[in-house]
Amino acid sequence: MTFETSLIDSALRNWRSNVDRVDKLFGNLPQEQLLQEIAPGKNRLIYLWGHLTAFNDALIPLLGFGSRTFPELDLMFVSNADRTVPTILSGGDLKIIWQETSQILLTEFSKLSAADWLQKHGAVSEQDFLREPHRNRFTILLGRTAHIAYHLGQAKLSERAQTT
Amino acid sequence: MTFETSLIDSALRNWRSNVDRVDKLFGNLPQEQLLQEIAPGKNRLIYLWGHLTAFNDALIPLLGFGSRTFPELDLMFVSNADRTVPTILSGGDLKIIWQETSQILLTEFSKLSAADWLQKHGAVSEQDFLREPHRNRFTILLGRTAHIAYHLGQAKLSERAQTT
């Protein structure tokens, strides 16, 4: 491996590790438990899982891999707060969508060279990117990994034992 | 910038962004608020902040930058659960230690080349590193950034308004 590919390999390992933790934490919970709040008055587990799924799905166009597969997730899990939208998806639906979007992302990630990772992401103009070249795909990957970890920490609080 | 330095720059930006969020979230809270639990029966804010500070301090030897500056943090914030150790530091103390360790890390990070980042970290043997070259400093940086984000998500729950 070159230095570049080793650095990218580390970032992809960190991404996969956090995605795997989401699978383990949410993937096997019955619907009844998914409907529980992580703490009194806070978001329910299903909302956090849907929120992370919507963000993963939105990465597909942001990183230039194609169109979103489930844009309807945003109304349920991003632009509206938990418990304000009457119909949201079940855990079974989310599991399928989470796995499908995760697979698309991993497949596309594996095709990118270092130069590709350092290209601009979809939400920055060519002009802004000239001034701010750090607004690239790699920065998005790292930021979104931290975003998954942020909500994993919250979801973990729903478990009974005290954990850090 | 070369590809290598751009990739490292992205990772350092992500690190700094999470460290800055810790500063903002914990740094200005009065002691009274720091002693509140993030949710009923869960860790107090002061414990999470001390926990993150202990982990940052432990990065100093792990990444080969020198000795720990505050090893006593571990007993209070890592190896023992919250509320099981009678004396813990105040927010004022933690603020100083957090800023001091953050500064040491940023200074040392800025000296590392791509080759340096890809060297083994302090908790892996030479022999294991030959088989598992991803156990390097860069992987530690990314993992610890996610660790900060994980606890930031939890600490954020102590704020009154519903947030994701």
Please tell me which residue, B161 or A24, carries the higher pLDDT value: A24
d(CA A37, CA A33): 9
pLDDT of residue B162: 45
State the smallest CA–CA distance between residue A29 and chain B in angstroms.
Answer: 20
pLDDT mean across residues, chain B: 95
pLDDT more than 90, % of chain A: 93
The whole-number average pLDDT for the span A9-28 is: 97
Rounded to a whole number of angstroms, the distance from the CA of B95 to the nearest CA of chain A is 20
Of A7, A112, A134, A158, the closest CA to residue B38 belongs to A158
- Per-residue pLDDT band at B152 (split at 50, 70, 90): very high
* Vertex B20 angle, CA B18 and B25, to 5°: 95
Tokens found for residue B59:
């990065």
> What does the alpha-carbon distance between residue B159 and residue B164 come to, in Å, rounded to a whole number?
11
What residues form DSSP beta bridges with B136? B120
Q: Which residues of B touch A147 (CB under 8 A)?
A: 149
Q: For chain B, give me the number of helices (H) and strands (E)?
A: 8, 0
- Indicate if the pLDDT at residue A162 is higher than 50: no
Asked whether the beta carbons of residue B7 and residue A164 sit closer than 8 angstroms, the reply is no
Q: What is the rounded CA–CA span in Å between residue A79 and residue A102?
A: 21
Q: What is the pLDDT of residue B34?
A: 96
For B47, the token pair is 């414990």
Q: What is the structure's pLDDT at B161?
A: 54
Measured between beta carbons, which residues in chain A are less than 8 angstroms from residue B43?
A: 162, 164
Of B81, B115, B147, the CB nearest to A162: B81
Report the candidate in A8, A31, A18, A60 with the shortest Cα–Cα distance to residue A153.
A18
Per-residue pLDDT for B164 more than 60?
no
Per residue in B115-136, pLDDT (tens digit) is 999 999 999 999 999 999 999 9
Give the model's confidence band at B87: pLDDT under 50 very low, under 70 low, under 90 confident, else very high. confident
ipTM field? 0.95
A–B: how many Cβ contacts below 8 A? 145
- Per residue in B15-45, pLDDT (tens digit) is 999 999 999 999 989 999 999 999 999 999 9
| A81-138 pLDDT, tens digit each | 999 998 789 999 999 999 999 999 999 999 999 999 999 999 999 999 999 999 999 9
pLDDT at A31 over 90: yes
User: In the numeric block, which tokens belong to residue B54?
Assistant: 């202990």
How buried is A154 (Cβ within 10 angstroms: 0-12 exposed, 13-18 middle, 19+ buried)? buried
Q: Tell me: pLDDT of B60 over 60.
A: yes
- The C-alpha of B39 sits at a distance from chain A's nearest C-alpha, in angstroms, of 6
Neighbours of A123 (CB within 10 A): 11
**B136: its two tokens:** 């390097």
Mean pLDDT, range B129-149, rounded to an integer: 97
pTM above 0.90, yes or no: yes
Report which of B25, B43, B11, B153 is spatially closest to residue B98, judged by C-alpha positions: B25
Mean pLDDT of chain A: 95
**Do residues A104 and A60 lie in contact, with contact meaning Cβ atoms separated by under 8 Å?**
yes
pLDDT band, residue B88 (cuts 50/70/90): confident
Q: What is the pLDDT of residue A1?
A: 84
Can you give the pLDDT at residue A164?
53
Cα–Cα distances in angstroms (integers) from residue B122 to residues A21, A137, B11, B63, B140, in the given order: 25, 30, 20, 6, 10
Phi, psi of B136 (to 5 degrees): -115, 180
Amino acid found at A109: F
Q: Which residues of chain B make contact with A117, given a CB cutoff of 8 A?
A: 7
Model pLDDT, residue A147: 98
SS3 state at A96: helix
Which pLDDT score, from 0 to 100, does residue B6 have? 98
Cβ burial of A43 (10 Å; 0-12, 13-18, 19+) is: buried
The whole-number average pLDDT for the span A155-161 is 83
